[in-house]
Amino acid sequence: MLRKGIVFLFILISFILQCSVFGSLAFAGIIPNLMVILTSSFGFMRGEKEGLVIGFFCGLLTDIFFGNFLGFYALVLMYIGYLNGKFSRIFYPEDLKLPIALIIVSDLSYGVICYVLMFLLRRRFEFIYYFSHIILPEMLYTIVVTIFLYPLILKVNEKLEAREKRRAQKFV
């Protein structure tokens, strides 16, 4: 219950930050993608199921406010969360390389999927332009934010896991 509440708060705060504070902190009009950071870090920390559920809700929130129809971002982020969950078996909290690499790949694929489905299909063929002006800067900015946000998520998750372990022992 506590975990659900805290995850919900994480999603809400990240979303609000993303569309208010980061909007005015944007470098060259590019905003980082906190939703991808959240989805993919909970994915590889907690496994496929939690990754996909969190991805679904992150995406749904984006859909409701900024989507043209419901379900698109939810679907994309859900799969990102699920696939990141596949890496939870080789995830160690001490290791920083895997999370960073996964978030880079997640954000790049998020950008490419968005481009293909929302721009390529509307006859915007200049992939190189969009890649170098939108997808790549967003990824770089996202990584910068990850360096600050990820340790926080990791710490909160460790606290929650320790607490859950204690409670489980108490019941046995």
Partner 1 sequence: MSPVLKRRGERFTIPGKYLLLILTILCVLMMLVTFGTDVFNRPLNTIVGYAVVPFQQGIGKVGRWLSNRSEELVQIRMLLEENARLKEEVAALTEENTLLQQDKYELNELRELMSLSEQYGEYHKVGARIIGRDSGNWFSSFLIDKGTEDGLALDMNVIAGGGLVGRITSVGPNWAKVTSIISDNSNVSGMTLSTGDNLMVSGDLKLMADGCITFSQLMDSQNAVVEGDKVVTSDISDKFLPNILIGYINSISRDPNNLTKSGLITPAVDFEHLSEVLVITDMKQSAGE
Site residues for partner 1 per CB under 8 A: 12, 15-21, 23-24, 28-31, 33, 35, 47-49, 52-53, 56, 61-62, 64-66, 68-72, 74-75, 78-79, 82, 85, 114-115, 118-119, 122, 124, 126, 129-130, 133-134, 138
**CB closer to partner 1, 104 vs 115:** 115
Q: Residue 111: which residues within 8 A CB-CB, separation 6 or more?
A: 131, 134, 135, 138, 139
Roughly how many angstroms between the first and final C-alpha of the chain, as a whole number? 19
d(CA 75, CA 81): 10
H/E element holding 143? helix 136-171
CB of 171 to partner 1, least distance (A): 13
Nearer to partner 1, 96 or 119 (CB): 119
Helix (H) or strand (E) holding 34: helix 34-46
Closest distance of CB 35 from partner 1, Å:
7
CB of 8 to partner 1, least distance (A): 10
Q: How far is the CB of 100 from partner 1 (least distance, A)?
A: 21
Asked if 103 contacts 143 with a C-beta cutoff of 8 angstroms, the reply is yes
Identify which of residues 36 and 102 has a Cβ nearer to partner 1 in the complex.
36
